[in-house]
Amino acid sequence: MDSDSPSPRSESQTDPLLRDPFDELCHDLSSLQDLASCGAWRSVIDKVSRARALSLLHKPHDHLTYLAFNALAFTKLRRFNEASAELDSMEDLDSAHYRYETYPKIYPNRVGSMVPFSLRWLHALIPIKLGQRQQGMDRLYRLLDFVREKIKDKENSNLSVSLGMWRKREVFVVNCVIGHHLSHKEFGACLSLMKELLSRDSSDPILISQLGYMQLQIGDLEGAKVSFMKVENEGKNHGSLSEVEYQNLVNRNKALVYMVGKDYVSAVREYEECIERDSTDVVAVNNKALSLMYLRDLSDSIKVLENALERVPTVALNETIVVNLCSMYELAYVNHSDIKRTLSSWIARVAPDDFDSTCTRT
């Protein structure tokens, strides 16, 4: 929930023993962050509603931060019209009302925008979710321009810590744009954006791997092999990855090439190496199960996914794994409806608020 310029913590000036308990919750934003991190999005909405009803938000950045949490919660719950209404309640994001220097008595010696970056991202995302794709894509590209302007400013100011944060945001926004282009098979735009990122950091193993995934999607197997080999050959540069993360990335890249070539036995071997290093590598878990399914070993493929859900539910419980598991149930069992209902009951007990329970198809 970082703003474009970090917001100071807001503290009550009254004696702690006289504070309203809601006031304590309101200004301790870590409570909202804790709820968000565990997927308790309905509780986030309730907390924001109570804070507003009790007029506990006094400073401009308080209102913006709580609005950001609220809009994000609505988005996570797929209540896009309500998220849009939150955003529509704001003025232009670059309005003077949302700048620190407009309130010198509240924020002495502070300048810049207090708008959380998450609000700028949601401002672009929500139109796409509401079927207004062109408006959303236009906003995403404007957000990318905004981020790149910030990067230039930080480079000129030699603010290395802040520069790193904005570079991560650039990659995040580019990946959002690429994702939407991919969903419409606009591969030329995707490759152009990724190569632009790589022109500034040609050795980042994650970016090079993403280029390889795109090449696979457009049928350029040889190009993907070249990209994946580059990741493996430049092993000394892990970028932001740990040694285990890097090695697993290399194995997953190899496995994808094997899967495209329908060599599922070799793919399973690569994924097993990943899982031995890191049992929470759910991409490897999911793809190992798929490879086993393609080998017509439904029993073992089901065991792989069930064991992952039992062992690391907070990591493995996502819609892709559940959809795949339910598909395997349908192929393997006559009484698959009963089995899926049991799975649905378990999911209802442990899943975060934003989990899409319809993925079980019960």
pLDDT tens digits along 85-110: 999 999 899 999 999 999 999 999 99
Task: Look at residue 360 and tell me whether its pLDDT is greater than 70.
Answer: yes
Q: pLDDT tens-digit profile of 135-148?
A: 999 999 999 999 99
Task: Look at residue 235 and tell me whether its pLDDT is greater than 90.
Answer: no
Q: If DSSP codes are grouped into helix, strand and coil, which group holds residue 321? A: helix
DSSP letters for 168-186: HHHHHHHHHHHHHHHHTT-
Instruction: Return the pLDDT at 27.
Output: 52
Residues 6+ apart with CB under 8 A from 344: 357, 360, 362
DSSP letters for 225-266: HHHHHHHHHTTT--TT--HHHHHHHHHHHHHHHHHHTT-HHH
Rounded to an integer, the average pLDDT of 124-129 is 97
Are 117 and 169 within 8 A, CB to CB?
Answer: yes
Q: What is the dihedral of CA 156, 94, 175, 33, to 10 degrees?
A: 100
Q: pLDDT tens-digit profile of 160-178?
A: 778 889 999 999 999 999 9
Mean pLDDT for the chain overall: 90
| Residue 238 pLDDT class (50, 70, 90 cuts) | confident
Rounded to an integer, the average pLDDT of 202-230 is 94
Tell me what percent of the residues of the chain surpass a pLDDT of 90: 81
Instruction: Return the pLDDT at 12.
Output: 34
Q: pLDDT tens-digit profile of 6-58?
A: 333 333 333 333 334 334 434 568 889 999 999 999 999 999 999 999 888 88
Rounded to an integer, the average pLDDT of 54-65 is 91
Residues 6+ apart with CB under 8 A from 226: none
